[in-house]
Structure 1
């Protein structure tokens, strides 16, 4: 039996701009996990069970793909990506039973903590280990990004990086369409070795003397739908779009430097700026980033001396706030204000490690 788990994530700064290759974002892994367990097969093929979907769905390999399709597209794409690598090495497609268990949902409703990324990373790590593949963190990340790029090349992959490395990270995305085509044209093995222009990830120190508070709006949102919607808008490529990407990148750079210096007040100021940039984007494009509850979440934090913003694409899901860690009364007041506004304070803390046993 092989078991691997991967943490969820929160975006701290850089949303939307990070989808442009080479642009920075800050993320933090959180102590809620997706766990994937792989065991020997009872029958031929691949059996997939999940506490979020089908139980005991049995699939067969056909020309490198698993059929019939049984939902859980990120799980299937991760398995198929490992199978592509095995095929290039002259090895057969694997057969096994796989179980997915998620701590990133509430009775089947997602919190917005990167469940798609976490299940991709955990599945890939578990299946690779079952197949006796020895992979570095970066190789696991690259395979996970290839798997998700087959489904939607617009996603930045920041969630995958947080789930792989854990902790606080600075992340820059590669050109996902380019790396997908690289793998299709020259093979997965070559895509693991070749340079990925724009890609970078490095650890960051956690903020000093600041508490990270997380509030859930109770409303799930689709990051893929919001990002796809933005890509379809004529706003892309305009001076306003270029200004958003540039000012957001400057904000993220300043926030990274604040983390590295241990400058809490400067980091708090950059979180406020990041919120303002997202609000300007929302005003210009009418994307629906800020819902009434996300606005209330941010205003409640400001009222007690903190700084807050949506985490991720917005439209629901979660928001984050940074407050003085020693101001326990202010933290308690924030949680009370959130509860009064219908926002659920989540007992979430940063996860120091990425995918693990």
Structure 2
């Protein structure tokens, strides 16, 4: 194992384009796009036996030590601080399991996180948990001299995240890993966790993962991706958990939603690959209608007043818009004619009047990188 100086790895945030909620079931497709705001993770050697965890969102560094294969944060408030750093810790632990299986030492580390997916502590809903997991896996493995393929990095990040919450689809991890526009199908998280328990981490990286698929897509031709933040932070995990607790799953309504959403994603992929701007806009509008129907039938609160106005403003100029992700706040996206500068300006002004902040983000063509 080759040890080196400090290693820095970045991973971009993400936005869902289509397929929300349905994608949590293994094998159902979604489209995501990485955005040009990043989380950066710097890893170097620790000066003592403690692994030190530092984040620009925290007050002071946390100190942790390995115990029975896991990192235990020290101090009276250790449990609270461990929860706040859960994704960083899980990412270090999964790389630690891989190193141990390969007969390599697990060193004490100094891990520093810097996020541009927040602004003065403000959360935009751009997938910071996924980005920090991917960046941490990449930085720690590289510092320890283990070079991984993009898919290996994704798989380790998925194993880390699934131990925290197996309901998450991992779409954010895929966007942060591959970058650009992607089509994604989630693996069966319970199955891959069982694989790791039975086979170990290293063999699980090489085993087939039921349901999993990812491939790059071309960006939409002649369309500008516009992003608006509602100023209303939302929890994807809470909304998805709420849906799982309801009797809706397994009903005829659930089956209709999954079938319609799957068809919408397939048609959107075909439109992207064919450069069919009009067809893509229609599918994004259709995706919005399906989310609205789900909201009406289940009452999750996907559409807030600001998200509804965000969509209406875009459609008023011939564009298409929808909530991105679980809804309930956070961000919405719009696809507008890239050459219609006056329409784009009009939509942004209308968003601002409605309390929606236009975000200066663009698609990030690269994923996890130095």
Shorter-chain TM-score: which interval? over 0.9
**1:56 equivalenced with 2:69 (yes/no):** no
2:280 to 241, 245, 267: 267
Contact 1:104/1:111 (<8 A) preserved: yes
Alignment of 1:294-313 (within 5 A): 294-313=307-326
User: How far apart, CA to CA, are the structure 2 residues paired with 1:346 and 1:34?
Assistant: 17
SS of equivalent residue, structure 2 residue 326: coil
**1:321 equivalenced with 2:334 (yes/no):** yes
Contact 1:9/1:114 (<8 A) preserved: yes
Contact 2:91/2:137 (<8 A) preserved: yes
| Residue of structure 2 in register with 1:280 after alignment | 293
Q: For residues 175-200 of structure 1, what are the alpha-carbon distances to aligned partners after superposition, in whole Å with 9 as ceiling and x for unaligned?
A: 01110111012101111010012110
**1:203 equivalenced with 2:216 (yes/no):** yes
User: How far apart, CA to CA, are the structure 2 residues paired with 1:288 and 1:85?
Assistant: 41
| Residue of structure 1 in register with 2:26 after alignment | 21
| Residue of structure 1 in register with 2:135 after alignment | 122
Alignment of 1:82-231 (within 5 A): 82-231=95-244
Aligned pairs, number: 357
Q: Any unmatched runs of 5+ in structure 1?
A: none
Residue 304 of structure 1: how far off its partner (Å): 1.8
Report the TM-score, using the length of structure 2 for normalisation.
0.95
Residue 93 of structure 1: how far off its partner (Å): 2.3
Residue 54 of structure 1: how far off its partner (Å): 4.2
Moved more, 54-63 or 15-24: 54-63
User: How far apart, CA to CA, are the structure 2 residues paired with 1:328 and 1:79?
Assistant: 45
Residue 55 of structure 1: how far off its partner (Å): 2.4
Contact 2:240/2:326 (<8 A) preserved: yes
Q: Any unmatched runs of 5+ in structure 2?
A: 1-5, 74-78
**1:40 equivalenced with 2:53 (yes/no):** no
Contact 1:61/1:93 (<8 A) preserved: no
Report the TM-score, using the length of structure 1 for normalisation.
0.99
Contact 2:46/2:109 (<8 A) preserved: yes
User: How far apart, CA to CA, are the structure 2 residues paired with 1:260 and 1:317?
Assistant: 29
Contact 2:18/2:32 (<8 A) preserved: yes
**1:2 equivalenced with 2:7 (yes/no):** yes
